[in-house]
Chains A and B, each alone.
Chain A
Amino acid sequence: MTIKTATAPLASQAEEDALSALLDGELSQTESLRALARIHSAPAERTRFRTYSLIGDSLRGLPDTHPDFTTQVMAALKNEPTLLAPMPRRRERRPALWLAAAAVSAITWGLWQSLPDQPIPAPMAANAPRPVDVEPYLAAHQDFAQAVIAPAEMQFTQVSFVEPQR
């Protein structure tokens, strides 16, 4: 499905993609050098690179080497009238970030006894979304869903706040 980002001009999306690809080691040497040069020359790009790295580390469950990370994110949420956008191509690149919720949703509706075992990826970041957090909402929505008895095999990801282009 096409994800509509409410963010920004296309150029910036391309840059974000390049940045994300750089972090994931998916760029060729030439492309990497170009991306790094851009990071050095543009302060906004540098900030974004830092944020991406931090979020990536945190979501991978790496030790909290950046104790101010949460504070920063919280501050960012609070202070910036920023826009919501999914992390670029997160789903394809880092399947480990997606959590399987099958077992959880089966509890409320209970119609699905023998769901195939889904490995829960580990380690999970402390602040990563947990399926159980939204399970009551899914159950409550069932009253109005066409799928009277649908289980909801939801996968969750945190979405990042990105700075609007100024």
Chain B
Amino acid sequence: MNAVRHTVFGLLLTSSTAWAGAPLAQTEAAAWLQKIAEASRHISYEGVFVFQQGGASQSQTLMVTGRPSGAHMESRLLTLDGNPREVRCSQQVSFTLMVNGSQQQIEKRLNRRHFPDLLPENAAELANWYSISLGTPSRAAGRDCTTLEITPKDVYRWGYVLCVDKNNAFPLRAVMINDEGQVLMQYSFADLKLGTQPKMDGHPMPAMPEAAKPATGSPIEVTELPPGFNRIAAMRRQLPNRKGEVEHWVFSDGLTHVSLFLEPVQKPVLPIKGQSKQGMINLIKRQVGDWQATVLGEAPWATVESIAMHLEAKPATP
């Protein structure tokens, strides 16, 4: 059955990418990835992009500005439709400002990255887990772009199609696709100015108490992770709109992020599987020893299942 599945998978990939060039050599792929990662972090920009998920019926338009500040970026996201929301990121802090009528609410974010900054600092290493091929040149936000198809080499990650500025490799469009080539979500600039000096108006950066503390020793261990995945964060935190602290770990291959939440079991946990439309987000909740483990992320079922099933309660230390 596995062999059959792989053959079918192979055929689908072949047919969907038949028009694309052959995969680039790994060094060349790595160079492309690194170039795109650096472009999104070194070029100042201001523009408007559209985020779509689950078809055109769900879309959100956002204004985004970003400028280098030291070794990092300062950036600001502002929703242009729907409820007013603003995300501000600097080297020190990132937060979301929400406005509902006369009420304002600020939430600290634990991560400072967002589109167009999608690739990690060590983007070249992604070439170990994804193959890259050049697709048909395209156009986005009035700019000519080079198309790169980022195809996972195994079942543990989603694929991407990136359109990057032909001249400087700045990401103009990013499409996340599943193993059948269906679009899961996409970001696409509608309008973009590069190399300007954007103003960072808006809400001043507030001083906020730390939202998370370092993780303490946990009685759970992960015996095995899918290839390329590392634990990139571990903290104790409060969950939005809920009392009490949980342990939150994050595993990533640089592009895919999977969260694990651990908390003491209050009552026996019935295992639950959750899945978003087209399977983009997968979730498992299960009991491991005296702990409730919730694993979720924008990753294939195989990834979430693998992590969830490789959790073990450490033997109690006397």
A: which residues have CB within 8 A of B? 1-4, 6, 10, 73-74, 77-78, 84, 86, 108-116, 127, 129, 133-141, 143-159, 161
- Of chain B, the residue at the smallest CB distance from A138 is B296
Given A134-B285, A137-B239, A147-B185, decide whether A156 and B273 contact each other with a Cβ distance below 8 A: yes
In-complex Cβ contact of B272 among A77, A134, A135 (8 A):
A134
B163 within 8 Å of A by Cβ?
no
A–B Cβ pairs within 8 angstroms, 19 of them:
A4-B302, A6-B305, A77-B269, A108-B240, A111-B79, A114-B82, A134-B296, A137-B283, A140-B259, A141-B296, A143-B110, A144-B110, A144-B111, A144-B252, A150-B53, A152-B276, A152-B281, A153-B276, A155-B275
Given contacts A1-B178, A115-B58, A145-B257, contact A158 B185 (CB under 8 A): no
Q: With A116-B57, A140-B239, A144-B257 as given contacts, are A155 and B274 in contact (CB-CB < 8 Å)?
A: yes
- Count, chain B residues at interface, CB 8 A: 67
Residues of A within 8 A of B79 (CB): 111, 149
Give the chain A neighbours of B237 by CB distance below 8 A.
140
User: Which residues does B use to contact A, with CB under 8 Å?
Assistant: 1, 5, 51, 53-54, 57-58, 60, 62, 77, 79, 82-83, 85, 87, 98, 100, 109-111, 114-115, 118, 176, 178-179, 185, 233, 237, 239-242, 248, 250, 252, 255, 257, 259, 261, 268-277, 279, 281, 283-287, 294, 296-298, 300-302, 305, 308-309
B77 surroundings in chain A (CB, below 8 A) = 148
A148 close to B114 (CB less than 8 A): yes
B160's closest neighbor in chain A, by CB? A146
Cβ of B309 and Cβ of A84 under 8 Å apart? Answer: yes
> Please, which residue of chain B has its CB at the minimum distance from the CB of A3?
B301
Instruction: Name the B residues within 8 Å of A151 (CB-CB).
Output: 53, 58
